[in-house]
Amino acid sequence: MNLYEQQSANRRRTWLVMFAFVGFLVVLGLGFDTFYLGGVGGNVPIGSIVALSVGSISAVTSYFTGDRAVLLATGAKPIAEVGASASEPDKLKLHQLDNIVDEMTIASGLPRPRVYIVPDPDPNAFATGRGPEHASIAVTRGLLDTLDRDELQGVIAHEMSHIKNLDVRVMTVVAALVGAVALLSDWARRGMWSGGGSGKRSDRREGGGAAGLVFFVIWIVAVALAPFLAQALAMLVSRRREYLADASGAELTRNPIGLARALEKIDAAVAPTQAINRGSAHMCIADPLGRQVNLKGDGFWSNLFASHPPMAARIAALKEMAFLPEGHGGR
């Protein structure tokens, strides 16, 4: 796949994710209509209308402000803000990060992304935004403290590639919508229990009949499964692209070993990244939840539930790249 194909595939995927989300909400809304409003004046499908509008609005919002939501959720701060109150050696490190981003901006030919620092001691990094003109790169404190210059450059190049091929767009929209689904299904479940308990609601439900019951069951299943489905979706879009971003990142720096060593160090730090929650796990350079499946092979379960390919395989692929015959790539 060349860059152009990757970009158009990602545009398509973004649309798909947003439509799937709206469609899912409409199913929930239909369930609400049949279940709650079944017999009593069910002419006006309030639930469906509300679901459709809420779904569309959150899909559009996730597209335009998803990056801000993700950065806010991780507690990321702009590098200038962090640098203002930093110690002398710390300032040097932050300045180095700024320099590296400048270098990668030149190498990739993209506009310069904004840089954020996540206050978390575990090494990790992610990129977010809807495209190269609206992109941000966030690295954790731990990443800055553990990696040397070449390694940091490899990580930034990896994130730059995610921005260049528009992976960030899909990942940001998915992150924002996964958050929305979790919120909504939580909400719906709570509403259901309290509703089911009260006498008034059960009167109405009897009016629904058999069709209403079927819908009710589907609805419950949908509400219960929503977070898992959303999670599976997020993982589906994340794994293969990590290899791609590793490879094109190495192309930018012309130094695959830098990134390979960075991944080794990130892998060695087993502590989970606290600041990054489930919803945005797929955006990071390494699985922030530190799940054990990440380390083991390519088994069925690891394929289903890991948001990232096994680290060992990624490192091996990068090391293989480094053994290219000398004199290629103008190094």
Partner 1 sequence: MPGLILLVVVVALVIWAIASYNRLVGLRNQVLNGWRQIDVQLKRRHDLIPNLVNAVRGSMDFERDTLTAVMEARAKALTATGPADAAQKENQLSQALGKLFALAENYPTLKSNENVKALMEELSTTENKVGFARQFYNDIATKFNTVQQVFPTNIFAGIFGFKPAELFEITDAAERAVPVVDLGRKAQS
Given 23, 49, 53, 102, the residue binding partner 1 (CB under 8 A): 102
Q: Which residues pair with residue 134 across a beta bridge?
A: 131
Beta strands 134-140 and 114-118 are parallel
Closest by CA to 4, choosing from 215, 152, 166, is: 166
Shortest separation between residue 143's beta carbon and partner 1, angstroms: 17
Closer Cβ to partner 1, 107 or 247, answer by number: 107
What are the CA-CA distances from residue 99 to residues 26, 70, 213, 281, 285 (Å)?
A: 48, 24, 62, 27, 20
Quote the tokens at residue 87.
């110690």
Residues 126-165 that bind partner 1 (CB under 8 A): 149, 153
CB of 157 to partner 1, least distance (A): 11
For the record, the structure tokens of 55 come out as 């779904």
- Residue 261: name the closest of 326, 324, 322 by CA: 322
Which span (101-109, 163-171, 174-182, 229-237) binds partner 1, by CB under 8 A?
101-109
Q: How many residues bind partner 1 (CB under 8 A)?
A: 16
Nearest approach, Cβ of residue 161 and partner 1 (Å): 14
Separation of alpha carbons 268 and 266, rounded Å: 5
Is 159 catalytic? The answer is: yes
Question: Given candidates 53, 60, 95, 196, which one binds partner 1 under the rule CB under 8 A?
Answer: 95
Q: Which of these segments, 32-40, 60-68, 106-114, 115-123, binds partner 1 (CB under 8 A)? A: 106-114
183-222 mask for partner 1 (x: CB under 8 A)?
A: ----------------------------------------
Determine if 103 is a binding residue for partner 1 (CB under 8 A): yes
**Which of residues 109 and 197 has its CB atom nearest to partner 1 in the complex?**
109
Stretch that binds partner 1, among 10-18, 95-103, 202-210, 294-302 (CB under 8 A): 95-103
Q: How far is the CB of 95 from partner 1 (least distance, A)?
A: 7
Residue among 1, 3, 46, 99 that touches partner 1 (CB under 8 A): 99
The residue assigned the tokens 């190495």 is: 250
103 vs 264, beta carbon nearer partner 1: 103
* Shortest distance, position 318 Cβ to partner 1, whole Å: 19
Alpha-carbon dihedral angle through residues 243, 248, 253, 259, given to the nearest 10 degrees: -10
The catalytically annotated residue of 5, 133, 159, 320 is 159
And the tokens for 34? 């049949």
Which residue ranges make up the site for partner 1 (CB under 8 A)? 88-89, 92, 95-96, 99-100, 102-104, 106-107, 109, 149, 153, 330
Which positions are annotated as active-site residues?
A: 159
